């Protein structure tokens, strides 16, 4: 990479929930940022506060199609992909393409620019896990032909391709395995439990619980996640690293916490569990602690309060 003060980063999917926070963080760290997004699930509103920054550039493009970025590039961060079940179930082919062709194209860009490459992988590579909590050494329990397989296998393939470029071409590769994350800029009805419960509680609707509510998740606030990703980007670690909050709770417990924070009186309604939906999800973050000196700092109540305020603002703006 260039030995200069201001580095340049390309972030695919930069108009999405996580991508927009990463754009913000890298700009704050003194980087120039090129955001590439086809807006299939991302929103320009997530970038509105960055558009006047002279060090920020937006390119509307589907990275599953070949593309070039003029000039020197130091980092390529590949975050483009539908990431919620409602999205990748509606967009299965696009999800597979961005995980395969998009990964190939972005790896090619990184190689051409001699840039460091960071891949956004996911806890979904572990499927419905048989080991608990899930360490990076676990190979997963994934149904490749089930409806969720389009996302799970796209990310597993992306990891394999990134490591192939690392081993064959000597490309500097970093892989972050992202566990459930929440915070401002999530879409209100993207199918994930955090925005669903908050939106439903604020509008007086029943909270939709799938299964019996005893399945578990571990929720990490977005600021903590971005800190972990940034530390991984700057590290020398090429193997996958779990970034997430190891504090585990049931979906029913999470619903009760949302109701407590919002003061809502909504009831819980129970629906059949979706096919291949994981029963447990908890990251083993031993490697993140040892290699990156990272662990989450934001308490669930504090992070949820900020997220609830964000959703209140959206509802007020749409009223």
**Annotated catalytic residue 247:** no
DSSP structure class, residue 291? I
Q: How far apart are CA 312 and CA 198, in angstroms?
A: 9
Catalytic-labelled residue, pool 75, 151, 182, 230: 151
Contacts of 308 (CB under 8 A, 6+ apart): 198, 202, 258, 261, 262
Angle at Cα 286 formed by Cα 252 and Cα 174, nearest 5°?
Answer: 100
Distance (Å, whole) CA 173 – CA 162 = 7
Nearest-angstrom CA–CA distance, 228 and 49: 23
Spatial distance between the Cα atoms of 173 and 237, rounded to a whole number of angstroms: 8
Burial 24-59 (b: 16+ CB within 10 A, else e): bbbbeeebbbbbbbbebbbeeebbeebeeeeebbbe
CA distances from 200 to 85, 210, 257 (A): 18, 14, 13
b vs e for 64-85, b when ≥16 Cβ sit within 10 Å of the residue's Cβ? beebebeeebbbbbbbbbbbbb
Residue 102 to residue 9: CA distance in whole angstroms: 17
Q: List, by residue number, the catalytic residues.
A: 151
């Amino acid at each position: 990479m260039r030995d200069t003060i201001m580095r340049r980063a390309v972030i695919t999917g930069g108009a999405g929930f996580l991508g927009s926070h990463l754009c913000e963080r890298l700009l704050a760290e003194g980087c120039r940022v090129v955001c590439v997004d086809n807006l299939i699930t991302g929103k320009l509103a997530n970038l509105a506060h960055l558009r006047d920054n002279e060090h920020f550039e937006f390119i509307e493009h589907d990275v599953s199609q070949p593309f070039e970025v003029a000039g020197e590039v130091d980092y390529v961060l590949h975050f483009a992909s539908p990431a919620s079940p409602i999205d990748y179930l509606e967009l299965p082919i696009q999800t597979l393409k961005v995980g395969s062709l998009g990964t190939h194209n972005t790896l090619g860009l990184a190689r051409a620019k001699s840039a460091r490459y960071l891949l956004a992988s996911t806890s979904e590579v572990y499927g419905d896990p048989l080991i608990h909590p899930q360490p990076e050494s676990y190979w997963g329990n994934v149904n490749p032909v089930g409806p969720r397989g389009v996302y799970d296998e796209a990310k597993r393939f992306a990891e394999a391709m990134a490591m192939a470029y690392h081993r064959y071409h000597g490309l500097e590769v970093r892989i972050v395995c992202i566990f459930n994350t929440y915070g401002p800029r999530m879409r209100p009805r993207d199918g994930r439990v955090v925005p669903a419960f908050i939106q439903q509680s604020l509008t007086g609707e029943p909270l939709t619980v799938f299964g019996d509510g005893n399945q578990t998740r571990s929720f990490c606030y977005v600021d903590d996640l971005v800190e972990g990703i940034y530390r991984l980007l700057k590290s020398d670690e090429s193997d996958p690293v779990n970034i997430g909050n190891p504090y585990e709770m049931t979906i029913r417990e999470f619903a009760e916490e949302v109701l407590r924070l919002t003061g809502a009186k909504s009831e819980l309604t129970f629906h059949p569990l979706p096919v291949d939906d994981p029963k447990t999800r908890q990251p083993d973050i031993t490697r993140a602690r040892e290699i990156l000196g990272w662990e989450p700092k934001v308490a669930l109540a504090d992070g949820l309060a900020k997220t609830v305020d964000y959703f209140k603002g959206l509802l007020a703006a749409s009223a």
